[in-house]
Amino acid sequence: MSDTYIYIAIVITTFATYLPRFLGVFSSDFVNEKGKLFKLVSCISYGILAALIARIFIHPVGALEQTSTLIRLTVATLTIVVLFLTKKNVLFSSLFGVILFGILNLYYN
């Protein structure tokens, strides 16, 4: 009896995951990227992302809570600097940030 519920849950979550994606791909032809609504949604998305990143730096949860705020902000600042120095190479700047964060936490925490 419990196996039936698992399969029903899998089917429901599959539809809940892929139906909005399908509808997004289907309706993407009708979206005006230069329109005001698209710009509004884009601004709201960037605002939410900025707020989440700020929350991670100011009030971290879990293992990140053990680290110093100064180290987190230093690594973020230097990673952004490296991002612009490498002409927006996200892979290199991300690896730089991870390695720098590990080194600073190893020696100064």
**What letter does residue 31 receive in the DSSP assignment?**
-
Residue 96: predicted pLDDT: 97
| Cβ atoms of 69 and 57 closer than 8 Å | yes
| Cβ atoms of 45 and 29 closer than 8 Å | no
Residue 33: predicted pLDDT: 85
Amino acid at 96: F
Q: What is the pLDDT along the chain (109 residues), one digit of tens a residue?
A: 578 889 999 999 999 999 999 998 988 888 888 889 889 999 999 999 999 988 988 889 888 889 998 999 999 999 999 999 999 999 999 999 999 999 999 988 6
Non-local CB neighbours of 76 within 8 Å, separated by 6+ positions: 57, 97
Phi-psi domain of 87 (left: phi exceeds 0; alpha: psi -120 through 50; beta: other): left
- Residue ranges per structural domain of the chain: 1-30, 32-60, 67-109
**What letter does residue 61 receive in the DSSP assignment?**
-
Q: What is the pTM of this model?
A: 0.61
Counting beta carbons within 10 angstroms of the beta carbon of residue 92, is it exposed (0 to 12), middle (13 to 18) or buried (19 or more)? middle
| Cβ atoms of 81 and 106 closer than 8 Å | no
